[in-house]
Amino acid sequence: MSGTLDVQIFTVSFILYGVGFVLYLLRAALQRATAGVIATGLVAVGAALQTIALGVRWNLSGHPPLTSMFEYASVMSWMAAISLVILVARTRRFEVGMYVSPLILGMMAIASIVPKEIYQQLVPALQSYWLHIHVSMAALAEGAFALSCGLAIAYLIKARRADAEPEELARLDALNHRVISIGYPLFTLGALFAGAIWAYSAWGSFWSWDPKEVGSWIIWLFYTGYLHARYRRGWRGRKAAVLAIIGFAMVILSFLGNMFLGGQHAYG
Amino acid sequence: MTAAAEREQRPTRTGGRPARQVWGQLYELLSSTGFAIAILLILAVASILGILVIDQLPVRGELARVQFAARQDEPLIWLLSNVVPLRPFRCFFFQSLLGLLSLSLLACTIKRWRGSWRAAITLPAASDALLRSRETRLWRTRDENAPTRVAALLRRRLFRLRETQITTAAPQEVRYAGLRFGLARLGPVLTHLGFLLLVVGAIAMSLSGRAEMLWLRPGERVTVPEAGLTLELNAFDIEVGARGRIADYVSTVTLYREIGADTTAAGQLAGEQLEIEVNHPLRERGFSFYQNSYRRDPRRLRYLELAFDRAGFPLPGGADAGDDGEGDSDPQAADATGAPRGMPGSRGPHAERHDGFRDPMTITIPWGERVALPGTRYAVAVDTFLADFRVTADGPALASQEFANPAAQLAIFHGDSLAGRSWYFLFHPGMAVGTAPELPVRIADLGPEFVSGIEIATHPGAPWVWAGFAVMTLGTMLAFLLRTERIWVRLRRAASGWDVAVLHQGAAPQAPEFARAAWERSATPLTIQIARALEPAEGAPVSPAKRRNA
């Protein structure tokens, strides 16, 4: 293992999440409840290690690890892992891990392929307390959207089975909606409002149609549409699940968009 | 009826349909969810197209337009320029979409306001009809203090209660209607209202806002006549942090404010010294001054580092100080030839001699200062600098803002008199063009002067945007953090204790894994809590239907 200490710990977390995913699969294949418990434990340990990794990185750089694509992807996966552990601990739905852990692994994989250099000196625009508010809330919201995507996949797979219990599906659907109901206000207030207020101080306008801003705007429009469809049109179950998956795909596209479209949010 | 009378009656109808009905239908359309979703979808697609257009070309500024026009032979560029507007987010189509969204938000807000307000404050009575609901739970308790206990429990849970006691008729009854977090019902409507304010502010800024980028050198000033402000840049400083990364850049400015009509020259006023920094703009009289950027000044340096060979300079007596056998000609004589030496293509020996210094030394020449070359009788000053030197018909000129071919015209002094001026080039160290004597000097390094990039902007819609943020934040928090709950409790006096009926709305049933008894799987946590407080005496709580069947 190479790299700074935080990257080494990050790699260990990555491996633990991977093993956790395999155990979730085994749980489903062999119907062994213990495998689910161990898998969740491994994800919890992975998340704890990732917490340490982020802390080490914060200490090394002197600023919160929210300023590069590696750091953002890492924080996003960390948030999703913590959410998964809390969700499984509270609801005992181990099967959700099988669908959410691959998404966490995907985010970790993205983080692992982008540059991981530590910059102690932040560019002037990032030297603001809004960095903490804006980026952490956005990462938390996107972590929730990742979780909702996993729940939606779980729903769709369960709904295909002939022996699917309607009550169980309804609970999964309600849980997914609750997760989005946490992510959406966080995204609205953190990613959009806090970002716009910061941009007003740093760049001279609330909104400048930067690629990342447009990406966030589209994500927000989409989830707004989702909520309207759910509340006013009664879109639940399968339709809502499909929308949740598309929503998270948009989150990933917006995240990766920086690589191709650049813009004012392309910090590294 | 005459024809004229018939004509008079016709205007009450428009196209066979009452005008009011048309407006009503338009209102229904604008306030419908389908329309809102359609607008959101179209906006999303238009935004994706817009960002693709921006990605294909830098759409800001006239230069970008020219560059764009020059790329017309590329199919995608041709398509974009002929189909999509150059400034996609400011074009009429996009602004119209935002306008339609505003109308939709306005219609939704108006339509839902009254209902939301009513739902937020009203407490329907605990009627028998209501309590026949499927979600109602019925049981009997022996607790004589049931009414007091229920009221206390609900008040502890922040319910606003309305109590009705029926003591005149038998059996005695106490009914409670409770409402918790009723204001949460205003959340969605406030969110719509806040978003409407945001969009209105955004449209106002887009249509009448102004942003202008200024590049200021220290000492330069800019006047904003509309605001009666003059800004003078005193200094521009760049702080460099770890690994040479820029830590900060700050403009120190003097702001002169005109007061009334008496003041005509801003410079006559006492100015206030202020700093403009990234993340800390200066706001004054509706104008904002942002430290937006900076760049190297293409026409000026902070200092120039000059390398020279002391051994190659003519000795005070006239002989060459070096031992290469090539004597330096008298500077004045060199000038007398009339032709600038070292022109490209004719600089052979001059260039070669500068390549290998035997007694090299480097000195720093600050801009605007004359500095003596130690050990010689010469002194040098930087006259002119061009970051991208090109020779044109009119003489040397700046080809671009880039440091592509930095060149400095140095004034060479011999003693106190000017010996001549020549251009020296950073990337062509052997070349010297001009009337100065041939000397073993070359530019070793440049200390660029920086120009501060200050953006002056107005945000006419900002108050709307701030109001939108506030209202929408409040609405979002009410809608998502709080949940309106209603509860109806009826306590009817029984032979021993009370018959209890509880209907709780606005909360999900208890999660099955946390249910202690079978009946709890379909009851809300609060209902379970009430049942635990008023212990059921004869069996578990049941729904009205089950009670009837029993």
Alpha-carbon separation of residue B25 from B8, B16, B22, B29, B113 (angstroms)? 26, 15, 5, 6, 19
In chain A, residues 129-168 whose CB comes closer than 8 Å to chain B: none
For A258, B312, B349, B407, B438, the CA distances from B431, given in Å and listed in that order, are 44, 16, 10, 10, 10
- Judged against a pLDDT cut of 90, whether residue A247 lies above it is answered with yes
Q: How many domains does chain A have?
A: 2
Q: Which of the pair, B419 or B245, is modelled with greater confidence?
A: B419
Contact A185 B48 (CB under 8 A): no
Question: What was the pLDDT predicted at B486?
Answer: 93
For A204, the closest chain B residue by CA position comes to B290
Same domain, A79 and A158: no
Which residue in the set A92, A127, A185 is minimally distant from B476, CB to CB?
A185
Buried b (16+ CB within 10 A) or exposed e, B272-305: eebebbbbebbebeebbbbbbebebbbebbebbe
Q: Is B391 helix (H, G, I), strand (E, B) or coil?
A: strand
Give the one of A121, A197, A209 whose C-beta lies nearest to B247's C-beta. A121
Bridge partner list, B499: B140, B492
Instruction: Identify whether residues A256 and A201 lie together within a single domain.
Output: yes
Q: What is the pLDDT of residue B80?
A: 59
CB contact under 8 A, A91 and B511: yes
Burial category of B513 from C-beta neighbours within 10 Å (exposed 0-12, middle 13-18, buried 19 and up): exposed
Of B301 and B352, the structure prediction assigns the larger pLDDT to: B301
pLDDT tens digits along B484-495: 999 999 999 888
Last residue of a domain, one of A82, A116, A150: A116
Q: What pLDDT, on the 0 to 100 scale, is given for residue B82?
A: 59
Q: What is the pLDDT of residues B254-298, one digit of tens each?
A: 988 876 544 444 445 567 888 999 889 999 888 999 998 888 899
Q: Which two tokens stand for residue B91?
A: 């074009």
Instruction: Verify that A134 and A262 share a domain, yes or no.
Output: yes
Over the stretch B33-76, which tens digit does the pLDDT of each residue have? 888 888 988 988 888 888 877 666 554 444 455 555 666 677 76
Between positions 116 and 135 of A, the ones with CB within 8 A of B are 119-121, 123-125, 127-128
Q: How far apart are the first and last CA of chain A?
A: 23
Report angle CA B232, A264, A210 to the nearest 5 degrees: 110
The four Cα atoms B41, B45, B51, B57 give a dihedral, to 10 degrees, of: -150
Residues A32-58 have pLDDT tens digits of 888 999 999 999 999 999 999 999 999
Q: What percentage of residues in chain B have a pLDDT greater than 90?
A: 32
Residue B23's pLDDT is: 87
Give the model's pLDDT for residue B190. Answer: 94
- Partner B contacted by A203 (CB < 8 A): yes
State how beta strands B441-458 and B287-309 pair. antiparallel
**Distance separating alpha carbons of residues B324 and B524, to the nearest angstrom:** 102
Partners of residue A201 in chain B, C-beta under 8 Å: 279-281
Find residues 8-67 of chain A whose CB sits inside 8 Å of chain B: none
pLDDT digits (tens, 9 = 90+) for A139-185: 999 989 999 999 999 999 989 988 888 888 888 898 899 999 999 99
Residue A256's CB is within 10 A of a number of other CB atoms, namely 15
CA distance linking residue A191 with residue A189, whole number of Å: 6
Whole-number pLDDT of residue B13: 47
- Mean confidence (pLDDT) of chain B: 81
Domain boundary among A116, A137, A165: A116
pLDDT of residue B348: 31
Is residue A250 pLDDT above 60, yes or no? yes
Lowest model confidence (mean pLDDT) among B4-18, B83-97, B125-139:
B4-18
Binning chain B into helix, strand and coil, the percentages to the nearest 5 are 35, 35, 30
Distance between CA A154 and CA A241 in Å, rounded? 9
What residues of B are in contact with residue A209 (Cβ under 8 Å)?
Answer: 50-51, 54, 89
A108-130 as b/e: b if 16+ CB within 10 A: bebbeebebebbebbbbbbbbeb
Per residue in B430-440, is it b (16+ CB within 10 Å) or e — as a string? bbbbbbbbbbb
Min distance B115 CA to chain A CA atoms (Å): 15
Average pLDDT over residues A213-239: 89
Predicted pLDDT at B171: 76
Residue B326, pLDDT > 60, answer no
The label of the residue with tokens 């400011």 reads B90
Q: How far apart are CA B4 and CA A261, in angstroms?
A: 68
d(CA A251, CA A110): 13
- The mean per-residue pLDDT over the stretch B9-33 comes to 73
Integer Cα distance of B9 and B16 in angstroms? 12
Report which of residues B228 and B6 the model is more confident about.
B228
Grouping H, G, I as helix, E, B as strand and the rest as coil, residue B441 is strand
Parent domain of A44: 1-116
CB distance A128 to B279 below 8 Å: yes
Which of A124, A188, A215 is facing B246, going by the closest CB pair? A124
| Spatial CA neighbour of B151 closest among B125, B170, B175, B127 | B175
pLDDT average, residue stretch B333-337: 33
3-state secondary structure string, B294-337? EEEEEEEEEEEEEEEEHHHCECCCCCECCCCCCCCCCHHHHHHC
Strands B498-505 and B485-493, bridge-based pairing = antiparallel
Do A110 and A136 fall within a single domain? no
Sign of the alpha-carbon dihedral angle for B143, B148, B153, B154: positive
Distance of CA B199 to the CA centre of its chain: 15
Q: Which residue stretches of B363-442 are H helix?
A: none
User: What's the rounded Cα separation, in Å, for the pair A74 and B184?
Assistant: 35
Residue in A216, A220, A223, A225 with CA at minimum distance from that of residue A198: A216
A41 and A139 housed in the same domain: no
Q: Do A32 and A153 have their domain in common?
A: no
Q: What is the ipTM of this complex?
A: 0.87
Size of interface A-B (CB pairs under 8 A): 119
3-class secondary-structure state, position B530: helix
Q: A111 near A13, Cβ under 8 Å?
A: no
Min mean pLDDT across B284-298, B316-330, B527-541 is at B316-330
Specify the pLDDT at position B36. Answer: 86
Rounded distance between C-alpha atoms, residue B225 and residue B215, angstroms: 18
Last residue of a domain, one of A116, A136, A167: A116
For residues B449 and B297, is the Cβ–Cβ distance under 8 A?
A: yes
DSSP H helical ranges for chain A: 5-30, 33-61, 69-91, 95-113, 130-160, 166-186, 195-202, 211-233, 237-261
Residues of A within 8 A of B48 (CB-CB) are 214, 218
**B159 near B177, Cβ under 8 Å?**
no
Identify from A67, A187, A206, A253 which residue to disrupt to test chain B contact, counting B C-beta atoms within 10 A and taking the largest count.
Answer: A206
SS (H, E, C) B182-219: HHHHHHHHHHHHHHHHHHHHHHHHHHHCEEEEEEECCC
First to last CA, chain B: 74
* Torsion (CA) B478, B479, B483, B488 in degrees, nearest 10: 90
**Same domain, residue pair A143 and A109:** no
Q: Are residues A133 and A110 in the same domain?
A: no
Rounded to whole angstroms, the Cα distance separating B282 from B271 reads 14
The encoded tokens of residue B160 equal 């606003």
Backbone angles phi, psi at B347, to 5 degrees: -115, 15
Angle formed at CA B476 by CA A247 and CA B180, multiple of 5 degrees: 125
Nearest to A225 among B37, B281, B288 (CB): B37
Pairwise CA distance, residues B285 & B457, whole Å: 11
Residue that is written with structure tokens 């339609």 in the block: B100
**B145 has pLDDT over 80:** yes
Task: Indicate whether A131 and A239 sit together in one domain.
Answer: yes
Q: What gap in Å lies between CA B193 and CA A226, rounded to an integer?
A: 19
A95, A134: one domain:
no
Q: Contacts of residue B472 in chain A, CB cutoff 8 Å?
A: 188, 193
Among B197, B218, B1, B220, which Cα is nearest to B102's?
B197
Residues of chain B with C-beta less than 8 angstroms from the C-beta of A174: 508
CB B314 within 8 A of CB B321: yes
Percent of chain A with pLDDT over 90: 54
d(CA A97, CA A154): 9
Residue type (1 letter), A48: A
B356-370 average pLDDT score: 87
Same structural domain, A238 and A131: yes
Residues A153 and A225 in one domain: yes
